[in-house]
Amino acid sequence: ADLLTPEEFPEEIPDANLLRPRTFDHYVGQKDVIDSLKVAIQAALLREDTLDHILLHGPPGLGKTTLAALVARAMGVSFLASSGPALEKGGDLVGILTRLAPGTLLFIDEIHRLPRPVEEILYSAMEDFSIDVVFDRGAAARTFRHRIPPFTLVGATTRAGLLSAPLRDRFGIQRDLDFYQPPELARILERSAGILGIGIDPEGSLEIGRRSRGTPRIANRLLKRVRDFSQVNGHSVISRDVAQRALRMEGIDDRGLNRIDRRFIETIRVVYNGGPVGIEAMAATLQMDPDTLIDVVEPYLLKEGYLARTPAGRRLTASGWEIATEG
Ligand code: ADP
């Protein structure tokens, strides 16, 4: 989450925990993923076994952390969260693994950013709940196998391609989360509005849903911006019209693209004549972090068909070109 510095993507919102679904019934969408996880959970409970390790892949804000916490709750085990960048040294991870309550669901966000030596500790930990401890150095070095409590690892990543094969292969369950459809986001927004005591009509929530880049975290954040706007302007209920005016002020256009999206598209057209252009060149021109472009900006533009990835780089599609020339 610390990758997402640009102002368009402020990450945590004060009520984030309040809005996080606590049961599968409140977790909207991702039906295929939920169905298969429920089967795996039931089977593990029947066998009184730990659940297989799970890898969740998808852009930020689609509900990976939320889902991991729901799985822990359904299994009746404790939930512990860490992240790739936070586990700097092998000792950090060993400290966690050796102290786990049996059956714990350990969630590691941004698992593709685990340093290699730390990652290697996970191999035997995941495979047979053991870690190798090395005593002495050089010729006198001996290793000692240390048992650790059984646990389930849930790894989340925005970039499955950056995971090493030995790590990836140790996840028995691997699932991709998809962007959400506007009606799904509208349902999430209606629930959030209820919790926060915000008046909104169905068209208002659909309008915010349409402009949230398919992402629940963005939808919840925009809801608050629209609430501010409607209060200041004396509306008691957020209607479609109120939502449209508020979001335009936030720099979000009728297609749901934000300022960075449009700058990205326009830069390809103006500076690179529509592409193909490499991501490093784009990052330099936009003065942005290439990882942010790859993890946050591009996935939605690709999904909406404004952008295409080719071996030579990124290029605008016909509809991307159309937007870029609208001005
Ligand atoms: P990720 O871990 O993928 O970055 P999170 O799990 O932190 O995403 O989700 C961000 C926020 O979006 C959550 O706090 C939650 O309020 C909301 N959210 C995500 N997925 C869903 C969903 N399927 N249904 C309802 N709300 C969701």
Q: What is the DSSP string of 45-90?
A: HHHT-PPPPEEEE-STTSSHHHHHHHHHHHHT--EEEEETTT--SH
What are the C-alpha distances in Å from 284 to residues 7, 79, 158, 162, 270? 18, 40, 22, 22, 15
Query: Tens digit of pLDDT for each residue in 205-228?
Result: 999 999 999 999 999 999 999 999
Contact present, 179 and 214 (Cβ < 8 Å): yes
Reduced to 3 states (helix: H, G, I; strand: E, B; else coil), residue 149 is coil
* Mean pLDDT of the 25-39 span: 96
Backbone phi, psi, residue 278, to 5°: -75, 155
| Ligand 1 atom with least separation from CA of 188 | 25
Which residue's CA is the nearest one to ligand 1's atom 20? 63
Which residue's CA is the nearest one to ligand 1's atom 16? 20
pLDDT of residue 325: 84
Give yes or no for residue 11 having a pLDDT over 70: no
Q: What pTM did the predictor assign? A: 0.91
23 flagged as catalytic: no
How close is the Cα of 133 to the center of ligand 1, in Å?
38
Confidence at 327, pLDDT banded by 50, 70, 90: low
pLDDT of residue 5: 32
Query: Which positions ≥6 away from 20 have C-beta within 8 Å?
Result: 66, 69
How close is the Cα of 57 to the center of ligand 1, in Å?
13
pLDDT of residue 140: 82
* Mean pLDDT of the 294-320 span: 94
Query: Tens digit of pLDDT for each residue in 147-172?
Result: 999 999 999 999 988 999 999 999 99
Percent of the chain with pLDDT over 70: 95
Contact present, 283 and 290 (Cβ < 8 Å): yes
pLDDT of residue 307: 97
pLDDT of residue 143: 84
Q: Of the ranges 4-13, 30-39, 119-128, 177-186, which one carries the lowest mean pLDDT score?
A: 4-13
Percent of the chain with pLDDT over 90: 85
CA 104/CA 143 separation, integer angstroms = 26
- ipTM at complex level: 0.99
Report which of residues 2 and 230 the model is more confident about: 230
Give yes or no for residue 2 having a pLDDT over 80: no
CA 81/CA 107 separation, integer angstroms = 5
Query: Tens digit of pLDDT for each residue in 189-205?
Result: 999 999 999 999 999 99
pLDDT of residue 16: 67
Q: Chain-wide mean pLDDT for the chain?
A: 92
Which residue's CA is the nearest one to ligand 1's atom 19? 63
Q: CA angle 60-83-125, nearest 5°?
A: 125
Residue 62 CB less than 6 A away from ligand 1: yes
| 39-43 long-range contacts, CB within 8 A, separation 24+ | 40/173, 41/71, 41/74, 41/75
Confidence at 7, pLDDT banded by 50, 70, 90: very low
What are the C-alpha distances in Å from 319 to residues 187, 258, 305, 326? 29, 16, 7, 11
Query: Tens digit of pLDDT for each residue in 91-137?
Result: 999 999 999 999 999 999 999 999 999 999 999 999 999 998 877 78
Report which of residues 101 and 327 the model is more confident about: 101
pLDDT of residue 261: 95
b (16+ CB within 10 A) / e for 231-256: eeeebeebbbebbbebbeeeebeeeb
Report which of residues 63 and 327 the model is more confident about: 63
Amino acid at 41: I
Give yes or no for residue 3 having a pLDDT over 60: no
pLDDT of residue 8: 36
Torsional class of 129: left (φ above 0), alpha (ψ -120 to 50), beta (otherwise): left
Reduced to 3 states (helix: H, G, I; strand: E, B; else coil), residue 3 is coil
Cβ-in-10-Å burial (0-12, 13-18, 19+) of 21 comes to middle
Closest CA to 59 of 155, 159, 154: 159
Strand partners, 200: 238
Residue 209 CB less than 6 A away from ligand 1: no
Q: In the 3-class helix/strand/coil scheme, how is 208-266 assigned residue by residue?
A: HHHCCCCCHHHHHHHHHHHHHHHHHCCCCCECHHHHHHHHHHCCCCCCCCCHHHHHHHH
State the pairing for strand pair 79-83/307-310.
unpaired
